[in-house]
Amino acid sequence: MSTTWLHSRTPWTARVHRAEELAERNPWSKQVLGFYSLLLAFQKTIYERVTVGPASKSAEFLPSLDLDRAARELPELAEIVSAYGPVTLAKNAARWHGSSFQQNRDLLEQWLFAAEIPDGTGAFFARVLLQPQAERLVELGNFLPQRMAENRCPYCGSRPQLAVLRPEGDGAKRMLLCSLCSSEWAFRRILCPECGEENHEKLPRYSAVGIPAVRVEACETCRHYQKSVDLTLDGLAVPVVDEIAAAPLDLWAAEHDYRKIQANIVGF
């Protein structure tokens, strides 16, 4: 398989290709990755539409997201979800067909500025629409990272979606990846991102046969977990896609009474 596209196209193209590849390889994730591929293609169009001029380095990140644009794009997303999404999301999408522009905008604003970003069907629509914008804003370089809590994104303050282990010297460096803008920041290897536990005996890691590069990083103190994608084991992995493809690990974690720090965009 040629990997030229990994280096020559946008991150969104790489994600679409990886989702399609993993769907063919892993029968247990074929359905969820098929739906996720449609979402990625939709998000890619949003990402490519974002054109933002120079902004003050002191401007706040979240208020810079274009909620008007996202509200106008919500009906198109609802059409996709109604036709191809899982039953729960499809039923919820039906109510957005008749919603006004202002109702759509209010939904997005309530989600974005909540003290703690909630999960649920409303969160799904907001995240799909705002992730591409947020990622593009960071890439354009209009914002500087701010001094925030170590376990929150330095750009937008969101929770981490997952951990990424990137090769460094003879080992690997642990990075956290933001659930909204996809920024990465360095984070200690032996430290719970939720409660700060640093006793390695209380921070077990679990893996499964057939998914060697993705693991569950759990904490026995707060009973939270996140998944990590180890690029030293699979250099072709695309973290946000491989994390979703490893949905069986989330089911295992739930059965063992662990709660995910931040559910991914498809709800796992």
Give the pLDDT confidence score for residue 56 in this predicted structure: 52
Q: Is the pLDDT of residue 4 over 70?
A: no
Q: Is the pLDDT of residue 212 over 80?
A: yes
What is the pLDDT confidence band of residue 97, given thresholds at 50, 70 and 90? confident
Q: Is the pLDDT of residue 3 over 50?
A: no
Q: Is 232 left (phi over 0), alpha (psi -120 to 50) or beta?
A: alpha
Q: Is the pLDDT of residue 93 over 60?
A: yes
Higher-confidence residue of 122 and 156: namely: 156
Tens-place pLDDT, residues 152-162: 999 999 999 99
How far apart are the C-alpha atoms of 188 and 173, rounded to whole Å?
8
In this prediction, residues 168-182 reach a mean pLDDT of 95
Q: Is the pLDDT of residue 25 over 60?
A: yes
What is the pLDDT confidence band of residue 206, given thresholds at 50, 70 and 90? very high
Q: Is the pLDDT of residue 53 over 70?
A: no
In this prediction, residues 178-187 reach a mean pLDDT of 96
In this prediction, residues 115-126 reach a mean pLDDT of 69
Most confident of 78-82, 147-151, 249-253: 249-253
Nearest partner of 49 among 136, 120, 125, judged by Cα: 136
Give the pLDDT confidence score for residue 60 in this predicted structure: 85
Higher-confidence residue of 117 and 149: namely: 149
Give the pLDDT confidence score for residue 5 in this predicted structure: 34
Contact 214, 163 (CB under 8 A): no
The DSSP call for residue 129 is H
B/e letters for 26-60, b = 16+ CB within 10 Å, e = fewer, are beebeebbebbbbbbebbbebbeebeeeeeeeeee
Q: Is the pLDDT of residue 230 over 80?
A: yes
DSSP codes of every residue in 65-94? S-HHHHHHHHHHHHHHHHHHS-HHHHHHHH
